[in-house]
């Protein structure tokens, strides 16, 4: 299948953003990659910000296409993890998948979440609020976990940054910060994906309990 010129421009932008990051990405590099002039790019997008947002939305679209389609809570979990993994592979994109949804694939993500929530047995009047909360968790927490790595990585490694932060936590007064001073090992050694899934499972467990409030047998 032949891509339209607009999608070719966005796909080339995704590749360059993966190579150079958002700071290193320019229209000049994109024009060279596409063997065209920079002026031609403005037929497709108004500016760099718009193009990066569209590129991030394309990353999200690929995640939606690849995500399995089971129903109910299992479907929500698989969908959320697929989106997180896609954004983790393209960390520049994480902060550009914004809420509320406006671009095409963000709208599709929100609609799929709402459709899956509606199949759980939750009361209809709670569908929008719960779907919004899940959408905000997937996009917002992914951005909070993934995006800082692009900034940290420019100056120091993730492990070094976490070690430095843990050292600062260790110097805090345990009387004022009893949890943080005990959590320094976890901070150093934690896996970002596991952290995302832990919160996701907590959220979905709450949804399942609300949708089916019967006590366990």
Answer yes or no: is pLDDT of 189 > 50. Answer: yes
Say if 195 falls within a structural domain.
yes
Residues 17-25: contacts with CB under 8 Å, at least 24 apart? 17/52, 17/55, 17/90, 17/92, 17/93, 18/90, 18/92, 21/92, 21/150, 21/154, 22/52, 22/92, 22/150, 23/154, 25/52
The pLDDT confidence band at residue 42, using thresholds 50, 70 and 90, is confident
- So what's the pLDDT on residue 155? 62
CA distance 2 to 8: 9
Distance of alpha carbon 49 from alpha carbon 36, whole angstroms: 20
Mean pLDDT for the chain overall: 90
Question: pLDDT digit string (tens) for 106-128?
Answer: 999 999 999 999 999 899 999 99
For the cut 80, the answer to whether the pLDDT of residue 3 exceeds it is no
Q: Is residue 62 part of a domain?
A: no
Q: Domain count of the chain? A: 1
* Domain, as residue range, for 116: 69-211
d(CA 161, CA 207): 35
Q: Is 154 left (phi over 0), alpha (psi -120 to 50) or beta?
A: alpha
How far, in Å, CA of 75 to CA of 71, rounded?
5
Six token digits for residue 42: 């403005």
Q: What is the per-residue pLDDT for 2?
A: 46
In a domain, residue 132? The reply is yes
Average pLDDT of the residues in 50-63: 96
Give the C-alpha separation, 84 to 163, whole Å.
24
Task: pLDDT band for 1, please (50, 70, 90 cuts).
Answer: very low
Q: Do the domain assignments include residue 5?
A: no
51, part of any domain: no
In a domain, residue 16? The reply is no
* pLDDT reported for residue 157: 81
Can you tell me the distance from the alpha carbon of 109 to that of 65, in angstroms, rounded to the nearest whole number?
A: 10
- pLDDT tens-digit map of 141-171: 999 998 766 655 556 788 888 899 999 999 9
The percent of residues in the chain predicted with pLDDT above 90, rounded, is 73
Q: Is the pTM of this model over 0.85?
A: yes
C-alpha 179, offset from chain centre: 28
- Tens-digit pLDDT profile for residues 69-113: 877 778 999 999 999 999 999 999 999 998 778 999 999 999 999
CATH number at residue 125: 1.10.357.10
Is the pLDDT at 204 greater than 60? The verdict is yes
199 in a structural domain: yes
pLDDT of amino acid 72: 73
Q: What pLDDT was estimated at residue 123?
A: 94
The pair of three-digit structure tokens given for residue 176, joined into one six-digit string:
């004022």
Whether residue 18 is predicted with pLDDT greater than 60 in this model: the reply is yes
With pLDDT > 70 as the criterion, what percentage of the chain qualifies? 93
> Does residue 186 fall inside a structural domain?
yes
User: Which band of pLDDT confidence, cut at 50, 70 and 90, is reported for residue 184?
Assistant: very high
Contact 150, 96 (CB under 8 A): no
Phi and psi, residue 139, nearest 5°: -80, -45
């Amino acid at each position: 299948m032949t891509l339209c010129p607009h999608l070719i421009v966005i796909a080339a932008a995704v590749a360059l953003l993966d190579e150079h990051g958002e700071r290193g990405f320019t229209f000049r590099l994109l024009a060279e990659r596409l063997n065209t002039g920079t002026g031609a790019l403005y037929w497709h997008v108004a500016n760099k910000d718009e193009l990066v947002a569209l590129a991030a939305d394309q990353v999200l679209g690929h995640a939606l296409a690849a995500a399995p389609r089971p129903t109910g809570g299992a479907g929500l979990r698989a969908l959320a993890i697929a989106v997180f993994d896609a954004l983790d592979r393209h960390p520049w994109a994480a902060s550009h998948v914004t809420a509320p949804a406006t671009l095409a694939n963000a709208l599709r993500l929100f609609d799929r979440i709402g459709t899956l929530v509606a199949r759980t047995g939750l009361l209809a009047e709670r569908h929008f609020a719960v779907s919004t909360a899940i959408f905000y968790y997937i996009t917002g927490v992914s951005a909070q976990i993934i995006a800082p790595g692009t900034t940290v990585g420019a100056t120091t490694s993730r492990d070094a940054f976490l070690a430095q932060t843990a050292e600062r936590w260790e110097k805090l007064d345990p009387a004022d910060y009893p949890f943080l001073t005990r959590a320094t090992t976890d901070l150093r050694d934690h896996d970002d994906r596991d952290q995302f899934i832990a919160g996701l499972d907590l959220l979905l467990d709450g949804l399942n309990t609300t949708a089916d409030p019967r006590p366990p047998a």
